[in-house]
Structure 1
Amino acid sequence: MNKSEFLKTIAAFFRLVRLNNLLIIVLTQYMARIFLVGPKADWQSYIFELKHFLLVFATVCIAAAGYIINDYFDIKIDLVNKPREVIIGKIIRRRRAILSHQILNFIGIAIGLFLGLKVFLINVFAVSALWFYSERFKRQAFIGNFLVAFLTAFSLIVLAVYYKQNEMLVNIYALFAFSISLIREIIKDMEDIRGDARYGCRTLPIIWGIRRTKILLYIFIVGFVSILFFMAYSLHNQYLIMIFSGSIIVFTWLINKLYWADRKKDFTLLSRICKIIMMGGIASMIFV
């Protein structure tokens, strides 16, 4: 392999493991450590804290492995939905992809064992869930959506388990991550309905149709915002109440865009909007 091919493979590997998403995980866990777990006054020490670095690194390894195995099982579907983005089998060999997946999972689980039994068990569950999601549940209605949403919240749940300070506050943000991820995953199913239907996937839009799936999303959005507002109110945290009150405007706009969406590009836009809302949620940690 010459230098050009090597650099092309490295760049492809970073795309495969969704480097941007991994950086978001790192940012989320460090911001949660500083602004949610705290105390904020000691923020400089958290940046160089070895155990927190290992916790973040383990999470990133497991997430990267999850992206690899997801693409591994989705090669045929992705050749229909997004043929230009397929990496496994084109740039990176299937055997090397599986080996990378296994190495990353081993690192994540081994670090979890070093940090403690609870973190180890959560990491083992995350690894197992990502495998079964990619291999089986992704093609089943709602179960796959629910599972990947839970795994999105995993990066905050593991912090709530490892650190005992402000557990409720961390879990509120974990619920927020779960909620917006679940909404986004169902929207992505509507976006990918063509390729999913061709390969026998039983996603909600295929079983129920677009219209009924939208109704379910309206219910989820209203329900999740209500629960988050109630949890914030129970903490008597005025800043959190203000943040979630402001989110009502954003989610109302999202519902309006969802109502009028009927083409693939509309659902692609909605998926991106959900990602922006997720980033806004992360940024709001600063003000809590």
Structure 2
Amino acid sequence: MESATTKKHKFLGLFSAIRGYNVAMLMLAQYLAAIFVFAVDKTLKEILLDIHLHIVVIATFFVVSAGYIINDFYDAKLDAINKPIKTHIGNWVSKNTKLQVYFLFNFIAFVLGFIISWKAATFFAIYIFLIWLYSHKLQKFPVVRVLSVSILDILPFFVMFVYFNYVSEIILMHGAFLYGLILVKEIIKDFERTKGALLINRATLITKYGKRSVKRYVYLVLIGVAFPAYYILSFPEIGLMQYYFYGVVLWIPFFLFLLIKAKTFKHYLMLHNMLKVVLVIGVFSLALIDTSVLLIRILNQVKI
């Protein structure tokens, strides 16, 4: 009984370290993109029986999970102050075990990439290096940190371009739109981290530039997010997905109003969670794309 409890604790600790919820949403986004964007000329049965597609998604799971693990190492002191419960759960797995899992996951992802193609293997190798570079070096610089982590958050999604071997304009614009939202989410996280950052003397956007100035940057980014949303609305193939973008455009002023009023940790946590909800809805909105119109455009896509 005690052994079973210990195994359960270790599983929960590892799940917390790899941020299982985030990884699951990314994998779902890849499948939805495959079904409703990249492979609309195939039946659902053909897509579900595509072994290589499953390998791409599984490899993504391993490489992104490994990235979260190594980031967990470097954020341990900060999280111990700002996220004590998460840190306690994560400590159910030893640092040595996490390190072993990190190397194992990266190795598996790289091997799976080679099964697909040398391009996929190269993509995963570069991503592994960039994650290490971010965790070891880049996150020490506040501006570089939020810009680079936002790119790294969305980059695994674009391995689908490598696998399906063509560029989808609508997904590129959707990616720019999501990057803007993720960038805002990362900036908001700096507001949540202020207490821990001050105690361990780590530079963040807030400690370096002040809350008022950083809020102005968020205003500009969110205004910028409206441009790809407006551009995407010009594509007839987005179908019912248009209502998601209309909703976001209307939501932005409301979010800005709450940000202006925000002062406490709870306020910023609420804003952070709001962004998560919008991003999750954005993933599911891929299922609303009009594939009958999209198929015509895909036949004329530029090969890579």
Say yes or no: does 1:281 pair with 2:287: no
Percent identity between matched residues is 23
**After the TM superposition, which of the residue ranges 192-201 and 93-102 deviates more from structure 2?**
192-201
Q: Paired residue for 1:112? A: 113
What amino acid sits opposite 2:150 in the alignment? A
Contact 2:174 2:232 in 1 (8 A): no
Pairing of 1:29-68 with structure 2 (within 5 A): 29-39=30-40, 42-68=43-69
TM-score by length of 1: 0.92
Q: Paired residue for 2:196? A: 195
1:231 is displaced (CA, Å) by 4.7
Pairing of 1:127-142 with structure 2 (within 5 A): 127-142=128-143
1:243 is displaced (CA, Å) by 3.7
Instruction: Quickly say closer, same or farther: Cα 1:200–1:142, change in 2 above 3 A.
Output: same
Measure, in 2, the Cα distance between the counterparts of 1:156 and 1:183: 19
1:237 is displaced (CA, Å) by 4.1
Measure, in 1, the Cα distance between the counterparts of 2:123 and 2:93: 30
Instruction: Quickly say closer, same or farther: Cα 1:73–1:232, change in 2 above 3 A.
Output: same
Instruction: Quickly say closer, same or farther: Cα 1:178–1:58, change in 2 above 3 A.
Output: same
Contact 1:75 1:88 in 2 (8 A): no
What amino acid sits opposite 2:226 in the alignment? V
What SS does the aligned partner of 2:197 have? Answer: helix
Contact 2:70 2:102 in 1 (8 A): yes
Pairing of 1:166-205 with structure 2 (within 5 A): 167-205=168-206
Contact 1:16 1:68 in 2 (8 A): yes
Instruction: Quickly say closer, same or farther: Cα 1:40–1:11, change in 2 above 3 A.
Output: farther
What amino acid sits opposite 1:259 in the alignment? I
Q: CA RMSD in A?
A: 2.0
Deviations 1:199-257 (A, max 9, x none): 23222111111111010011001112213322542x45463555423321112211111
Deviations 1:53-104 (A, max 9, x none): 0100111101111111111111111111112211588321111111100100
The structure with higher relative contact order (CA 8 Å, sep 6+) is 2
What amino acid sits opposite 1:22 in the alignment? V
In the comparison of the two structures, how many residue pairs are matched?
A: 287
Instruction: Quickly say closer, same or farther: Cα 1:89–1:266, change in 2 above 3 A.
Output: closer
Measure, in 1, the Cα distance between the counterparts of 2:117 and 2:96: 32
TM-score by length of 2: 0.88
What SS does the aligned partner of 1:2 have? Answer: helix
Measure, in 2, the Cα distance between the counterparts of 1:88 and 1:73: 17
**After the TM superposition, which of the residue ranges 79-88 and 95-104 deviates more from structure 2?**
79-88
Query: Gaps (5+ residues) in structure 1?
Result: none
